A and B are shown apart, each in its own frame.
Chain A
Amino acid sequence: MPKDNSIRSVLIIGSGPIIIGQACEFDYSGSQASRSLREEGIEVSLINSNPATIMTDPVTADHIYLKPLTPESIIEVLEERQIDAVLPTMGGQTALNLAIEAGKMGIWDKYNIRLIGVDLEAIELAENREAFREHAQKIGLKVAPSKIANSFLEGMEAAQNIGFPLVIRPSYTLGGYGGSFVHTKEEFEEALKRGLNASPTHEVLVEKAVLGWKEYELELLRDANDNVVIICTVENLDPMGIHTGDSITVAPAMTLADSTYQQMRNEGILLMRSMGNFAGGCNVQFSIDPVTEEIIVIEINPRVSRSSALASKATGYPIAKIAAKMAIGYTLDELKNQITKTTSAYFEPTLDYVIVKMPRWNFDKFKGSVNTLGLQMKSVGEVMAIGRNFLEALQKACQSQENNRMGLGADKKEWIRTDDILERLEKVGDDRIYRVKDALRLGVPVKSICNITKIDPWYIEQIKRLVDIEKELLRFNVAEDIPESLMRQLKTMGYSDAQIAWIMRIEEDQVRAHRKALGIRRTYKMVDTCAAEFEAKTPYFYSTFDNENESIPTDRKKIIVLGSGPNRIGQGIEFDYCCVHGLIALKEAGYEAIMINCNPETVSTDFDMADKLYFEPVFWEHIEEIIELEKPEGVIIQLGGQTALKLAEKFHEHGIKIFGTDFKNMDMAEDRGAFSDLLKEMDIPYPKYGVAETIEEALKIANEVGYPVLIRPSYVLGGQRMKIVINDHELERHVLSIFKHLPDNKVLIDQFLERAKEAEIDSICDGEDVHIMGIMEHIEPAGIHSGDSSAVLPTYSLSDQVIETMKDYTKRLALALKTKGLINIQFAIKDEKVYVIEANPRASRTTPFIAKAYQVPYLNIATKVMIGANKLKDFEMVNNLDGYAIKVPVFSFNKFPNVDKRLGPEMKSTGEAIRFIKDLNDPFFRELDRNRSLYLYQ
Chain B
Amino acid sequence: MTEAFQHDAVLMLEDGSVFRGQAVGHKGISSGEICFNTGMTGYQEIFTDPSYFGQVMVTTHVHIGNYGTIDEDQQSEKVQIAGLICRDFNEEFSRKRADQSIQDYFDKQGIVGIEGIDTREIVRKIRDKGAMNCLISTSELDENLLAERLTETPNMEGLELASQVSTTEVYTLGNDDAAHKIAVLDLGTKRNILNCFVKRDCQVKVFPAKTSYADLAAWNPDGYFLSNGPGDPASMDYAIKTAQQLLEQDKPVFGICLGHQVIALALGMPTYKMHHGHRGINHPVKNLVTGKCEITSQNHGFCVEPEAIKAHDRVDITHINLNDDTIEGLALKDKPVFSVQYHPEAAPGPHDSRYLFDQFVDLLKSSKA
Known: A258-B348, A262-B346, A461-B92. A252 touches B124 (CB 8 A): no
> Is chain B's binding surface mostly helix, strand, loop or mixed?
loop
- What residues on B are CB-neighbors of A456 within 8 Å? 94
User: Counting CB contacts under 8 A, is B42 at the interface?
Assistant: yes
Q: Report Cα–Cα, A348/B285, bound state, in Å.
A: 12
**Is B66 within 8 A of A458, CB to CB?**
yes
Interchain CB contact under 8 A, B62 and A388 = yes
Interface residues of B in 262-285 (CB under 8 A from A): 280-284
Q: In the assembly, what is the distance between CA of A254 and CA of B92, in Å?
A: 12
Stretch with Cβ within 8 A of B (4 or more), from A351-359, A504-512, A585-593, A681-689: A351-359
Given A229-B295, A458-B92, A532-B120, A485:B5 Cβ within 8 A? yes
> Is A533 a contact partner of B70 (Cβ separation < 8 A)?
no
By a CB distance below 8 angstroms, the chain B residues around A256 are 41, 67
B127 proximal to A (CB < 8 A): yes
Task: Judge if B1 is at the interface, Cβ distance under 8 Å.
Answer: yes
User: Residue on B with the closest CB to A387?
Assistant: B62
Within 8 Å by CB of A347, from B88, B96, B283, lies B283
Stretch at the interface among B181-189, B250-258, B286-294, B307-315: B286-294
Q: Which residues of B contact A253 (CB under 8 A)?
A: 40-41
Within 8 A of B (CB), among A340-375: 342-344, 346-354
Contacts of B366 in A (CB 8 A): none
Give which listed residue, A254, A293, A458, A525, contacts B97 with CB less than 8 A.
A293
- With both beta carbons as reference points, the residue of chain B lying nearest to A459 in the complex is identified as B94
A residues in contact with B93, CB < 8 Å = 458
Q: Could you tell me if A533 and B123 are in contact, using CB atoms closer than 8 angstroms?
A: yes
Q: In the bound complex, what is the Cα–Cα distance between A457 and B66 (angstroms)?
A: 10
Chain A residues in 8 Å Cβ range of B73: 257-259
B322: chain A residues within 8 A (beta carbon)? 333, 343-344, 346-347
* A227 contacts the other chain (CB 8 A): yes
Interface size class of B (residues with CB under 8 A): 35 or more
Chain A residues, Cβ within 8 Å of B95: 255, 257
Interface residues of B in 40-78 (CB under 8 A from A): 40-42, 45, 60-63, 66-67, 70, 73
Whether A258 lies near B45 (C-beta < 8 A) is yes
Is B67 a contact of A352 with CB atoms below 8 Å? no
How does the 8 Å CB contact mask read for A231-274 relative to B, with 1 for contact and 0 for none? 00100000000000000000011111111011001100000000
Q: Is the beta-carbon distance between B40 and A350 smaller than 8 angstroms?
A: yes
Contact of B323 among A229, A457, A469, A534 (CB under 8 A): A534
Q: CA–CA, A293 to B67, complex, Å? A: 13
Chain B, Cβ-Cβ closest to A461: B92
Q: Knowing A225-B292, A229-B295, A472-B3 are in contact, say whether A533-B66 is a contact too (CB < 8 A).
A: no
Q: Are A255 and B94 in contact (CB under 8 A)?
A: yes
Asked whether B3 lies within 8 Å of A469 as measured between CB atoms, the reply is yes
Smallest CB separation, B139 vs chain A (Å): 20
Tell me how far the C-beta of A92 lies from the nearest C-beta in chain B, rounded to whole angstroms: 28
Q: Verify A353–B62 contact, CB threshold 8 A.
A: yes
For chain A residues 320-350, which have a beta carbon within 8 Å of chain B? Answer: 332-333, 342-344, 346-350
Given contacts A255-B94, A257-B73, A390-B63, contact A548 B124 (CB under 8 A): yes
- Judge whether A332 and B293 touch: CB under 8 Å: yes
Q: How far is the CB of A567 from chain B (nearest CB, A)?
A: 29
Chain B CB within 8 A of A130 CB:
no
Contact of A227 among B36, B94, B96, B293 (CB under 8 A): B293
**Partner among A233, A488, A532 whose Cβ is within 8 Å of the Cβ of B124:** A532
B66 touches A254 (CB 8 A): yes
Q: Assess the A344–B4 pair: CB atoms within 8 A.
A: no
Question: Is B100 in contact with chain A by the CB < 8 A criterion?
Answer: no
When distances are taken between beta carbons in the complex, the residues of chain A under 8 Å from B118 are 546-548
B312 → chain A, closest Cβ, in Å? 25
Task: Tell me whether A531 and B38 are in contact (CB under 8 A).
Answer: yes
B28 located at the interface, meaning its Cβ lies under 8 Å from any Cβ of chain A in the complex: no
Within 8 A of A (CB), among B347-364: 347-351
Please give me the residue from chain B that is nearest to A344 by CB atom: B322
B41 touches A257 (CB 8 A): yes
Asked if B39 lies at the interface with its beta carbon under 8 angstroms from chain A, I say yes
Q: How far is it, in angstroms, between the C-alpha of A209 and the C-alpha of B88 when the chains are bound?
A: 35
Is A418 close to B, CB under 8 A? no
Whether, in the assembled complex, A489 has its beta carbon less than 8 Å from a beta carbon of chain B, the answer is yes
Chain B, 4-56, CB within 8 A of any chain A CB? 4-7, 19, 36, 38-42, 45
Q: Within B284-332, which residues are at the interface with A (CB < 8 Å)?
A: 284, 286, 291-293, 295, 322-324
Expressed in whole angstroms, the Cα–Cα distance for A534 and B60 within the complex equals: 13
| Contact A257 B350, beta carbon cutoff 8 Å | no
Find out whether the CB atom of B121 lies under 8 angstroms from the CB atom of A346.
Answer: no
- How far apart are B233's CB and chain A's nearest CB, in angstroms? 23
At the interface, yes or no: A816 with Cβ under 8 Å from chain B?
A: no
When chains A and B are docked, how far (Å) is the Cα of A259 from the Cα of B97? 12
Least Cβ distance of A794 to chain B in Å? 55
Give the nearest-CB partner of B98 in chain A.
A257
CA distance in complex: A530, B283 (Å): 10
Once bound together, how far apart are the Cα atoms of A103 and B73, in whole Å?
A: 51
Task: Answer whether residue A153 sits at the interface, using C-beta atoms and an 8 A cutoff.
Answer: no
**Contact string against B for A residues 547-590, beta-carbon threshold 8 Å, 1 for contact and 0 otherwise:** 11010000000000000000000000000000000000000000
- Nearest neighbor of B323 in chain A, beta-carbon distance: A343
In the complex, chain B residues whose CB is within 8 Å of the CB of A353: 62
Evaluate contact between A333 and B61: CB separation under 8 angstroms.
no
Answer yes or no: A662 CB below 8 A from chain B CBs: no
| Choice from A254, A332, A465, A534 contacting B1 with Cβ under 8 Å | A465
B103 within 8 Å of A (CB atoms): no
Is B180 positioned at the interface, with any CB of A under 8 Å from its CB? no
Determine how close the nearest CB of chain B comes to the CB of A345; give it in whole angstroms. 9
- Residues of A with C-beta under 8 A to B42: 257-258
Residue among A347, A354, A472 facing the most chain B CB atoms (10 A cut-off): A347
What is the chain B residue whose CB lies nearest that of A257?
B67
**A745 on interface, CB distance cutoff 8 Å:** no
Residues of chain A with a CB closer than 8 A to B295's CB = 229, 346-348
* Interchain nearest-CB distance for A620 vs B (Å): 26
Judged by a CB distance under 8 angstroms, whether A608 is at the interface is: no
A252 touches B94 (CB 8 A): no
A352-B351 in contact (CB<8A): no
- Chain A nearest CB from B358 CB (Å) reads 15
Those of B95-142 within 8 Å (CB) of chain A: 95-97, 118-121, 123-124, 127
Are A227 and B60 interface neighbours, CB within 8 A? no
Which residues from A are CB-within-8-Å of B191? none
Q: How far is the CA of A136 from the CA of B275 in the complex (A)?
A: 45
A411 at the interface (CB under 8 A from B): no
Residue A389, interface by CB 8 Å? yes
Interface check A291, CB cutoff 8 A: yes
Is B260 an interface position by the 8 A CB rule? no
Residue-wise interface mask of A (855-885) relative to B, using a CB-CB cutoff of 8 A (1 in contact, 0 not): 0000000000000000000000000000000
| Residue A486 lies at the interface, judged by CB distance under 8 Å to chain B | yes
B40 touches A351 (CB 8 A): yes
- Taking CB as reference atom, which chain A residue is nearest B88? A389
Question: A225: which B residues are within 8 A, CB to CB?
Answer: 291-293
Give the residues in chain B near A101, CB-CB below 8 Å: none
Most buried by B among A256, A343, A532: A532
The residue of chain A having its C-beta at the shortest distance from the C-beta of B192 within the complex is A259
| Nearest Cβ on chain B to A635's Cβ, whole angstroms | 29
Asked whether any CB of chain A lies closer than 8 Å to the CB of B87, the reply is yes
Q: Encode contact with B along A84-95: 1 for CB under 8 Å, 0 otherwise.
A: 000000000000
Q: Which residues of B contact A348 (CB under 8 A)?
A: 281-282, 295, 350
Find chain A residues with CB under 8 A from B351 CB.
Answer: 262, 265-266
Is the pair A531, B4 in contact by a Cβ cutoff of 8 Å?
no
Given the contacts A257-B67, A258-B45, A347-B284, A532 and B3 also touching, CB distance less than 8 Å? no
Q: Shortest 8 CB-CB distances between A and B: which pairs?
A: A258-B42, A547-B118, A344-B322, A531-B60, A458-B94, A548-B121, A485-B5, A258-B348
Pairs A–B under 8 Å by Cβ, sample size 12: A255-B67, A255-B95, A257-B95, A262-B351, A343-B323, A347-B323, A352-B87, A353-B62, A354-B62, A458-B93, A472-B3, A532-B127
Q: A229-B295, A262-B346, A346-B322 are in contact. List 9 more A-B contacts (CB 8 A).
A: A258-B39, A343-B284, A352-B61, A458-B92, A486-B5, A530-B38, A535-B127, A546-B121, A547-B121
